[in-house]
Structure 1
Amino acid sequence: MGFPGVWMTESESMIYRVVPKCACSTIGQIMFYSDHGRFFDGDIHDSTGGLHKWSQDDSKQLIEKAVNRHQAISFTCVRNPYARILSSFFDKIAGIQRNGRRYRGNLVPQLVQRYGIDVGSPDNGFEFDQIASFRRFLLFARDTIRWRRPMEPDIHWSAMSGHIATFIANGGRYDRIFFTEAFNDGMAQVLGSASTPVPVDLAAVPRFNESEGHGPKRAHKVSAYFDDLSRHLIWEIYKDDFQLFRYDFDNPDNKMPLGEVDLDEVHAKLGR
């Protein structure tokens, strides 16, 4: 199985387990900058050089050795599950992708047909009932995760704990798991523990939100999207995420975690 979703700087100063929709574009660009003194020109997910990735055959052996030696700081970043699933919906389902098309080709038409989702279009200014469509999307997301139909769960809405567990299952150990909601503090701690060829001034780093500007803006506060049934589904899908990463299930509008991540607990529960 190896270490899917793992990126590492060429200097082997940092090892990062990517969790989609959790500032991964910004983190990848910071890692790239810390080696090269410049940001990657484009979406860091498209890079094929300058940053080791498990998806690149030449990087696999180097990543495996570095993880096993555990000399580089190993880390990941998490996000409030309510905000993360909303972001997935507005980016991947309601939004237009960088290539000018809908995400995964026929996925959105399939959701329109099977789940009655309406996501508008650029032609009508993305006018649609955001709350009703999101709740229908949530049923679809649950079906993919619980029963793996009508398709396998997508990485953008599958549980963070599932992504994070693969690193542990193959012998990796996290030194730090920080929160998207306190990004600068968490990333500063990672950089403070890493010996990077190029110093990084976090205050000067732009936010690399590759999905921004390609779709509708969220029109309501977070809690408006989640009625009793939606919250039941969210708990069914993301119970481990709420508990392990200390997010507030009872108040969808409280995006901040209720406490720090207990790394020993994460390794014990996700390493089983």
Structure 2
Amino acid sequence: MTEKRVYLNPLSAASPLTRALAPFFPRYRSLLALEAYPEHLRGPLRNLVMSTDRRILFLRNLKCACTSVAQLLYYYSEGRFYPRSIHRATRGVYLARYWWSEIEPVYQAHSAFLFTLTRSPQARAWSGFTNFFVDASNIARHNHMGPMRDHGYDPAHGESYNFDVFLDYIEHSLAIDPLQTSAHFRPQVFNIAFGEIPYDHIGKVETLADDLRVIFERAGAPGFPPKELIEQRFNRSEAPRTPLTPAQRRRVRTIFARDYEAFGYDD
């Protein structure tokens, strides 16, 4: 029987190609600089976003409104939203993928207000599934399509069937190595290095508007963002959410048990 494949991310970026390109491109310099940190911190730190006034640090927890919040940080600096993918912006915010040299001293000094967001594991799992395999809109989708087919993915069988396949795929990946499992799919405690990174605030997508008001006020920008900006959403799936079966809900609770315990969800 052919072994089912999974796509895993490498733990180290210190490849010969990265070393060769680092003198010329900030992205590769940042990757090499982050190699100084333990493996389990490299991914989370690479997802930091800093405001240009260096008052606010946001750690992107994937599939937890990270596009919308990164856009708000860009608006905070520039007075408008970024017209393309905010996760590739080279101005208006500092992204750790390009500007780790700017972010690291602020992070180390804890001189900015540092926050992140979490989300209901059921809603987040469904969001990851639809983003990759229903809307087919994630740029990394091609990495996972072959392995998902190995696990039984077939669009003709419908979303509920394929969500079960998706949960099989996550379980298989996590059994090999949680740190190498896609940050879109793995438990959030790994994405945010829960218990190790000293957050000033951990908010929830479910209470996003209230959390954002608290975050910006405590960071020294009371009144931002106004209501009309809070209501803006980016990278939202257009696919309606199919109700999970009782068996699927139990599986989500098992796979993401650490998230339920750490963040107090009870869905």
Q: Tell whether the structures are fold-level matches, with TM greater than 0.5.
A: yes
2:185 matched residue in structure 1: 157
Moved over 6 A (4+): none
Alpha carbons of structure 1 residues 240 and 152: separation in structure 2 relative to 1, 3 Å: same
Which structure 1 residue ranges, 5 or more long, are not aligned? 121-127, 253-272
The one-letter code sitting in structure 1 at the alignment partner of 2:155 is: V
SS in 2 for 1:19: coil
Query: What does the per-residue CA deviation read over 1:67-110, in whole Å, with 9 as the maximum and x for residues that have no partner?
Result: 122221110000000110011001112222267xxx43252243
Q: Structure 2: how far apart are the matches of 1:175 and 1:8? A: 14
Match of 1:134 among 159, 163, 173: 163
Q: Structure 2: how far apart are the matches of 1:202 and 1:11? A: 22
Kept after mapping to 1: 8 A contact 2:47/2:95: yes
**Deviation of 1:30 (Å):** 0.8
- Is 1:24 the counterpart of 2:66? The answer is yes
Alpha carbons of structure 1 residues 32 and 106: separation in structure 2 relative to 1, 3 Å: closer
Alpha carbons of structure 1 residues 204 and 4: separation in structure 2 relative to 1, 3 Å: closer
Alpha carbons of structure 1 residues 157 and 106: separation in structure 2 relative to 1, 3 Å: closer
Q: Structure 2: how far apart are the matches of 1:107 and 1:71? A: 39
Which structure 2 residue ranges, 5 or more long, are not aligned? 1-36
1:208 matched residue in structure 2: 233
Tell me the C-alpha RMSD between the 2 structures. 2.5
Q: Structure 1: how far apart are the matches of 2:233 and 2:88? A: 13
Kept after mapping to 1: 8 A contact 2:50/2:58: yes
1:180 matched residue in structure 2: 205
**Deviation of 1:197 (Å):** 10
2:145 matched residue in structure 1: 108
TM-score for both structures, normalised by structure 1:
0.75
**Deviation of 1:49 (Å):** 1.9
Match of 1:68 among 93, 104, 108: 108
Q: Structure 2: how far apart are the matches of 1:198 and 1:43? A: 26
Matches within 5 A, 1:221-232: 221=243, 223-224=244-245, 226-227=246-247, 230-232=248-250
- Is 1:147 the counterpart of 2:180? The answer is no
Match of 2:75 among 14, 33, 37: 33
Kept after mapping to 1: 8 A contact 2:50/2:93: yes
Kept after mapping to 2: 8 A contact 1:30/1:200: yes
1:256 matched residue in structure 2: none
1:217 matched residue in structure 2: 240
Alpha carbons of structure 1 residues 202 and 67: separation in structure 2 relative to 1, 3 Å: farther
The one-letter code sitting in structure 1 at the alignment partner of 2:163 is: F
The one-letter code sitting in structure 2 at the alignment partner of 1:217 is: P
**Corresponding pairs, count:** 225
1:88 matched residue in structure 2: 128
Query: What does the per-residue CA deviation read over 1:150-181, in whole Å, with 9 as the maximum and x for residues that have no partner?
Result: x9411101111101117x64xx4101001101
Query: What does the per-residue CA deviation read over 1:180-230, in whole Å, with 9 as the maximum and x for residues that have no partner?
Result: 0111001110011123499431333443332534xx433x32x32x41xx4
Kept after mapping to 1: 8 A contact 2:213/2:222: no
